[in-house]
Structure 1
Amino acid sequence: MSHLKRLLDGLPLGLLLLASLTLGLAPFTPEPHVWEKLQMLAAGTLSRPIDIFDLALHGAPWVLLILKLVLRPRSGG
């Protein structure tokens, strides 16, 4: 877990947010790929390698952003 924490600490929050809003939501029309692939996953139709790759590619920025937010140090006590 410490390797992941070090990786996430090295990634600026703004960069992860920008990547999530651009690559994570591309293409914007007719609907974002990540949303389409999540719907396919929920329906059990995510089986083609290109669709799995699309989910990984467009979902990675979101996963990294969420992990960075969850694992960030808490202030105060």
Structure 2
Amino acid sequence: MDKKKSQLSTAFSAQWKSFLLLSLSLGLMPFVPEPHIWGKLEWLLGGAQGMQAMDWFDFFLHGTPWLLLLVALGLKLGAQVSKSEQEKN
């Protein structure tokens, strides 16, 4: 089971370039007057007053690529740290 989990983690972390492309495109659109996710984050940090279901859906739609990118990079970094620790031993 641990080997299967490791293979899945490796396959997911290998997709970081795709997640970066998604983050820079879908995650930031529309770009003018400011990136959409930025406006939603400001609204959320301001207390999310008046946010409706469509606004929450929009936040998750534009935020998902960023979340995937962070998870993939975290898994990649964790694998590199684990590999370097194994090489030391």
Q: Does 1:34 align with 2:34?
A: no
The alpha carbon displacement at 1:13 in A equals 1.6
Q: Are 1:66 and 2:70 matched, yes or no?
A: yes
Q: 2:17 aligns with which of 1, 14, 19?
A: 14
Contact 2:9 2:75 survives alignment (8 Å): no
Q: TM-score of the superposition, structure 2-length normalised?
A: 0.72
* 1:56 has 2:64 as partner: no
Please report how far the alpha carbon of residue 8 of structure 1 lies from its aligned counterpart in structure 2 after TM superposition. 7.3
Larger Cα Rg: Structure 1 or Structure 2? 2
Deviations 1:15-63 (A, max 9, x none): 1110000000000001111100000100112521111011100000000
Which whole-Å CA distance do the structure 2 matches of 1:8 and 1:25 have between them?
27
CA distance in 1, matches of 2:60, 2:10: 18
Give me the CA root mean square deviation. 2.1
Q: TM-score, normalised by structure 1?
A: 0.82
CA contact (8 A) 2:15 2:72 kept: no
Q: Give runs of ≥4 in structure 1 deviating > 4 Å.
A: none
What are the ranges of 5 or more consecutive residues in structure 2 without an aligned counterpart? none
| Runs of 5+ unmatched residues, structure 1 | none
SS of 1:76's partner is helix
Greater share of residues in helix = 2
